Chains A and B, each alone.
Chain A
Amino acid sequence: DAGVIQSPRHEVTEMGQEVTLRCKPISGHDYLFWYRQTMMRGLELLIYFNNNVPIDDSGMPEDRFSAKMPNASFSTLKIQPSEPRDSAVYFCASSTQGRTEAFFGQGTRLTVV
């Protein structure tokens, strides 16, 4: 398995634009997590899914952020409109029921100018 795959690796966008981050979890994993990593706040859990259903989105900063998981092999995190303070590295991770180990993607470095 190629592991968790995130795209793009780097994204530079202008303030006000829509940004979509993508994630392909490991096949067979039934949990998917989205995290944001910043200097000030460390690794924050934004939202996580179980069997494609959002379980906890209490970490989503505001209504500008939304996440979907239309099927077991794909998830998106969308920011609309983007703001400079959204600049961060966004990680996706997946895991499976009964296992504590979560596998992380390489992350997407987002820069909003």
Chain B
Amino acid sequence: GESVGLHLPTLSVQEGDNSIINCAYSNSASDYFIWYKQESGKGPQFIIDIRSNMDKRQGQRVTVLLNKTVKHLSLQIAATQPGDSAVYFCAEVAAGNKLTFGGGTRVLVKP
């Protein structure tokens, strides 16, 4: 696959358990914060976003939490499935639609 051999923090989770992925951001002026998922051999794929004036947003099996006080973003995945195994990136959208990415976390789902 595409794998660039990223040395990333890894989260191992049992199938069916909940996963929590964390990210620290630096730009307080960002308008939106976003989570992307990247599977081997593919480009990043949008999961969910949250506007900077919100602190929680829910999607299908995913919840994003934003704590602006400590500049922290998290993604919670409920009932993790094998198909959730991937690298997850947090990203920010700043003025002018500028999209920048933070570090990634590799999630490994154990059957």
Contacts and interface: CB of A to CB of B under 8 A. Distances in A.
The dominant DSSP class at the B interface is strand
Given A37-B4, A100-B49, A109-B2, A45 B98 contact: yes
A89 B32 contact: no
Contacts of A95: 97, 99
Given A93-B43, A104-B45, A106-B43, A39 B97 contact: no
Contact of A42 (B42, B45, B101): B101
Interface residues of B, number: 25
Contact of A55 (B42, B49, B96, B103): B96
Interface residues of A, number: 30
Specify the main secondary structure of chain A where it touches its partner: strand
B6 A39 contact: yes
B58 interface: no
Interface of B: 2, 4-7, 32, 34, 41-46, 49, 89, 93, 96-104
